[in-house]
Structure 1
């Protein structure tokens, strides 16, 4: 004779183990496992529960007898048979609780009407106790011990999957934390760089205006020139930082292609750089037709960064060679300097942001974005950058630029 449905459980709440509930819920096979349990035993309710000394929490459930449980619901641990499994760390089989001397006074049959019950303890792969996998019913059931073997195997499967979920969650948390930190850093760089432009523009304008005064002595002019030079370097750095933020937030580097002659553009940029570094020898070599379609401002940015890099890593009394060589389908822009070669171990990461071409600590420090921007500009034009660095020949950066960007 079938007994009446059990009274509704007294459901509590415990949000502290929400991640455990979510982890079980993400196990793709969990519904199939619970289905196997009900079909194997004939019991109508199968549950994976997180069990602690304080509470019993449903993580996954297959309910065919309208018991009223859902994932996340929590019961008083002392009112459940699962408390016995937790305390003994052993499987448990109950066929008729109200007539079993061990459990006829237990709260489970009185409060929930549970008469039949079978369960095994659940462990994570590392041996940590997690809870219980069980099946139960309001009716007595003729359950044999061999059913426990099936429960054990399925329990091992669930425990292994829990360990996998824990590992994935930990990895995802690390990746998310690193991504958020990186994104925040890049956004901060963009904001700070953008906000620095206004005061720098004011400094540059004031210094340029004072330079026009006829009554300035030579010492004052040199001081103003240093202010303008520092302001120009800061402007270049800000542009590199803004470009870096642009690229790293997933947007392509913007370019504005137009007809240009690379020979003329190089001469103009070299002359401007020479004004800020009159002590350096900058040699310019032209070869072939250097006309094409590029963004002149971006190409000037590339050359400025390469020249700054060459001056930083070469002796102050050594020449720097700039060459533009026209070929059939492209123009090759190269900047060469003598000095200590780039270590072979640094070459694979040379164009990555925040890296430097030497392991030597120097007083002239840089953010490490110059070569990164050079490569990004080349890519935006459909080109590429290569570097050759030896003790005998020095270091040469070559930017290959297709004539039609």
Structure 2
């Protein structure tokens, strides 16, 4: 058996890779994470940080497999935030204790019946008008506001909490790595942050590299059809009229907009906007998306003054394990591509703990042995999108 430097190598420094690193080390594995850009630079820092509980996917008025996969996630993440879960996240601030759902009059009666049903009791609270966020206090256009059992995380702070205690196990590589598996493990070859050639021998490899998994499919002789992308173009709105963390639903079973609020380093409030607006925006120019967003918010919140706002957009490649119809997978996807190599996609930030469960169930027992890898360059954190946006 070839000498191993580490039990498990992880490719990809987003939430899935960092969460897996924490879980592996807690289980006694020696593990090393390799990132070829900056930590969180792909989908993680482009996410809105909502720990979904699945109700967003139940607007056909019935719970489904997607909502089932997410149902336990809020409680599981809250345990970690309290220091009693599988990863210690004490000190990570919440952006919002609960994410909201605001219904326009076209959907209000249907939603009231569903949210009052036994299926979701305890997971949703109807808010009295005086409890509504100030920006939603418009009874002519807002029919109801509900608080979901879904917290919203400060994603940059979450990243720091996962990275800081494990910095010595997080390294930088440049460009694509070359992966050579065999029956005893896998050899990984590449260059570090100083352009020095590096070679690593691991007992197993897990790639959580998002879109980067596609290059590994080719190395394993597999079809690129094993992965899929569902792009978005997110909207950023600076000098927002007030704090808001909410989905807005109308007649469709998809949110017209999903808004989270972030504070820039200069103190200004930014709305980071997804939902149907961002999905449609994937095929639009930034200018067209910004124009559509102005019209959308003028229609949804006509009492608010957006005249002093600045706008930007962010194109996001959501990379996932493929499904037959191209829709979002119901849960995490873990695909074995060689005896001790797996490609992994969490599907959503909230599902990173569930993906780690799947990986740990597949791995051989740990040895805990690790070589001295201090000569490898350390990977750095990517900035939050609202700190580097090109505002118009």
User: TM-score of the superposition, structure 2-length normalised?
Assistant: 0.20
More helix by share: 1
Higher-Rg structure is 1
Q: Which has the higher contact order (CA 8 A, sep 6+)?
A: 2
More strand by share: 2
User: TM-score of the superposition, structure 1-length normalised?
Assistant: 0.19
